Amino acid sequence: MELPNQFAGSAPEASADATSTVVWGAVIVTVGAYLWRAGRRRGFHDRAGRVLIIVGYVLIGIALNESAHLMAGIWTVTTEAENQALTASITATFLGWGVPGAALVFVGCSPRLADEEILMKANVSSNS
């Protein structure tokens, strides 16, 4: 069976596939950490919070995956109008999946539910 190697190609689709592989690996490790920490019995609220956290991280993974695949289209853009349409599409896709996911993680980590620390974080800075 011949499967494509995502890390061997140089095409935009191969880069998007490689990015997706890394994103899903991070999501799986993060979800695994929450499941590992839930090994002992803590009650219904803790379980409900962990389910919300896991669903939230899966939604964030979908947001990053879909956005990465849409970003591969940036190499085919020829006009400013296409660039703006692609940017709007990427932003809408990411926010459409990511904001509900982040909200679920935030609610699930609250002291009333799982009372957990948010493990997957990102920082953005600019030097301008």
What are 9-61's pLDDT values in tens digits? 567 787 888 889 999 999 999 999 888 877 666 788 888 888 999 999 999 99
Is 126 inside any structural domain?
A: no
Which pLDDT score, from 0 to 100, does residue 59 have? 96
60: Cβ contacts below 8 Å, ≥ 6 apart: 27, 97, 98, 101, 102, 105, 120
Closest to 99 in 3D by CA, of 48, 62, 60, 54 = 60
Is 19 inside any structural domain?
A: yes
What are 65-121's pLDDT values in tens digits? 999 999 988 888 889 999 999 999 999 999 999 999 999 999 998 888 888 778 777
Is 89 inside any structural domain?
A: yes
Number of H helices, E strands in the chain: 3, 0
Closest to 16 in 3D by CA, of 96, 84, 94, 70 = 70
CA–CA separation, 31 vs 6, rounded Å? 24
Is 122 inside any structural domain?
A: no
Is 114 inside any structural domain?
A: no
Within 10 A of 69 (CB to CB), how many other CB atoms are there? 18
Domain span at 69: 12-108
Q: How many domains does the chain have?
A: 1
Is 4 inside any structural domain?
A: no
Within 10 A of 94 (CB to CB), how many other CB atoms are there? 19
Is 116 inside any structural domain?
A: no
CA–CA separation, 88 vs 54, rounded Å? 28
Is 127 inside any structural domain?
A: no
Is residue 4 over pLDDT 70? no
